[in-house]
Amino acid sequence: MSAQTDTQIVEVKDGMLPSFDKTPDLRFTSLSSSSQMVEHREHLTPPETPVDFIRENELLWCKVRRHLQEPFSEFFGTMVMILFGDGVVAQVVLSNGTRGDYQSISWGWGQVLSILLWLAVMIGVYVGKKSGGHLNPAVTLSNCIFRGFPWRKFPAYFIAQLLGAMAGAFIVYFNYRLAIDNFEGGPGIRTVGGNTSSAGVFCTYPAPFMTRSGMFLSEFLSSSLLMFNIFAFVDAGAGDLIPLCLFFLIFGIGACFGWQTGYAINLARDFGPRLVSYILGYGNDVWSAGGYYFWIPMVAPFLGCPFGGLLYDVFLCKGDTPINTPWMGLRRLTKPKPNSFGGNV
């Protein structure tokens, strides 16, 4: 056999051929020089810039954005939701119904104008996608309880959602300020209740016949339906279609349960703009109207959303949830485990 022959003798054992590494061996390349070989290797595996080096030389604002990206996402998602949501209510109310009616409001919160109260929710969720698009402190709380969302993130999400709702309400007010003056009967006149009140543009007020228990039940039930179905959408793998699903869900809640209280189902959505309306001169009536109704949209969602999530997990969820652990996850309250159910608790 010639010394230049490259024939390999393969030993067969137990009737099986050995496996061959298909990765090309650069030692047998046709490059003619060692310098070319080095060039070739460097071309195949370019040097990587260390992450630490990138972060050390990162611009200050880039660092801030990286660390606060999720709160920023919640802020702008909630702000956009209020811009569309309160914007469509302003158009309906201030035009004396010539630019929409209640059913149009039921088509901005999730036909052409309540395609905008509910379209508002859908767009807001898309804008807030980087953070999960909660846009609702009660939704964030439910994810902390049942889906392992880190509790340490809850305060930042809560503050971002509230500030985003306030920012959206301020923008809507200043955009419609002259229309509000015209509707209320003169510059600076701001009222709560009555045929010329514009306070309902910013937050919800109950129907006059509602009792306190009826108000609470309406908000509790709507919040429970919201969270129950959100968990169902996620478990069904709706993915990028979740905002569209929310559009139809919020439409259904509004069309079926929204008339009596306005279906706030969200502390940030109601309290943020309510506080803005107080700051802008609507007075103490924003708190006392409806028998001091203001606290119900603050409390009921924090009870209703976890209740809806609990119902879903107890009866339908087969995945990672505290309900599917011994003692239905109560042990986690005394012995929390890092990264359980998707995050640090």
Closest among 336, 232, 235 to 325, alpha carbons compared? 336
**Residue 116 DSSP SS3:** coil
Kindly give the interhelix angle for 296-315 and 212-235, rounded to the nearest 10 degrees: 40
Residue 246: which of 132, 101, 162, 103 has the closest Cα? 132
Q: Write down the pTM of the prediction.
A: 0.76
Q: What is the pLDDT of residues 268-302, one digit of tens each?
A: 999 999 999 999 999 999 999 999 999 999 999 99
Residue 190 dihedral angles phi and psi, to the nearest 5°: -135, 120
Rounded average pLDDT over 127-137: 83
Q: What is the pLDDT of residues 82-93, one digit of tens each?
A: 998 899 889 888
Asked if pLDDT for residue 44 goes beyond 60, the answer is no
